[in-house]
A = this chain, B = another copy of it.
Amino acid sequence: MVRAQVITCSDAASRGERQDRSGPAVREVLERAGYEVDGVMVVADEVDAIATAIEEATGGGARLVITTGGTGIAPRDVTPEATLRVCDRVIPGFGELMRARSLEKTQMAPLSRAQAASRGAALIVNLPGSVTGAVENLASILHLLPHALELLSGTRIERHP
């Protein structure tokens, strides 16, 4: 089984002022899809805190790291920036697909900066912070994860050209 880590990025949840509902919702979807979820970390909307959480997750063996929250354009929305700081390559198709699918449900979809990037053999995917947004965005890219993780691992025999 592939190990995964969920990171909830939220000032209010990290201070205990609000219950984190998105993290557990994402965890449930991942477990139903067959991933072994190490846990749900809750961190403040700070670049350093989020970047460190991603590093610890992948350093601890997680191949898949899913963040929720901090993907909008408010001043405290810094999850994409934190992700880029510790990742090698952006995979633009994830963000495009999440926004395109989300646009079928909400006109505000283009305001999400959610994206995916790779860190070595690990895949990092940013999801919005609302429970609905997180679960719907995850559903739109869930089918890509097995092949993406296989490719990132480099174990696949080259079938090209």
Residue on B nearest A116 in the bound complex, by CB: B110
CB <8 Å contact, B107 and A143: yes
The answer to whether residues A8 and B111 also contact, given A89-B73, A99-B96, A118-B73 and a CB cut-off of 8 A, is no
Counting CB contacts under 8 A, is A12 at the interface?
yes
A79–B26 Cα distance when bound, in Å, is 33
CB <8 Å contact, B99 and A111: no
A10–B160 Cα distance when bound, in Å, is 7
CB <8 Å contact, A110 and B93: yes
B residues less than 8 Å from A143 (CB atoms): 107
Interface residues contributed by chain A, number (CB under 8 Å): 57
CB <8 Å contact, A76 and B154: yes
The contact sample of 7 A-B pairs, CB cut-off 8 A, is A13-B161, A73-B118, A74-B151, A74-B156, A97-B110, A111-B151, A130-B159
Known: A74-B154, A93-B109; 14 extra A-B contacts, CB below 8 A, are A10-B161, A22-B160, A22-B161, A68-B161, A69-B161, A73-B151, A76-B158, A81-B89, A93-B110, A93-B112, A94-B110, A97-B110, A100-B100, A108-B144
A residues with CB within 8 A of B: 8, 10-13, 18-23, 68-69, 72-77, 81, 89, 91-97, 99-100, 103, 107-113, 115, 118, 121, 129-131, 141, 143-144, 147-148, 151-152, 154, 156, 158-161
